[in-house]
Amino acid sequence: MHLKGYLHLDIKPQNILVDEHLNLKIADFVSTWLFHQDNDQVSDVKGTSYFLAPEAISDPANKIYRVSYFSGRAYDVWTIGMSLYVMVFNRLPYTPESK
């Protein structure tokens, strides 16, 4: 997908389908962005909160921490890792109350 210039930006277990040959398919391309050349920088994602990458989370009270742009490809890799963790262990690697 990234080789074709697309960022999914909402990968989660609910968007991963398995066919009869156990091949994985990614679904739900509503949040997908097209990037040009190597510029995969995004400033906002509408993904599921439990799967957001740390760089996509901003704290309005802490202006220093706020990040304007981040790599969409790295974001997709984070969400794939989170999805795999949930599919293997059937739980999130942290609680919603974690900092």
Q: Which residues contact 21 (CB under 8 A, 6 or more apart)?
A: none
Query: Chain centroid to CA 5: how far?
Result: 16
Banded model confidence at residue 49, pLDDT cuts 50, 70, 90:
confident
Give the start-end residues of each E strand in the chain: 6-7, 16-18, 24-26, 33-34, 41-42, 70-71
Strand pairing class (16-18; 41-42)? unpaired
Which residues have C-beta within 8 Å of that of residue 88, sequence separation ≥ 6? none
Choose between 96 and 23: higher pLDDT: 23
Q: Please name each of the domains of the chain with its CATH number.
A: 2-89 (1.10.510.10)
Find where tokens 């790295």 sit: 74
User: What is the enclosing helix (H) or strand (E) of 84?
Assistant: helix 72-89
10 part of the active site: yes
Condensed to tens digits (0 to 9), the pLDDT of residues 59-83 reads 665 555 555 789 999 999 999 999 9
Q: Which entry of 10, 28, 38, 40 is annotated as an active-site residue?
A: 10
- pTM of the full structure: 0.81
If pLDDT is split at 50, 70 and 90, which confidence band does 28 have? very high
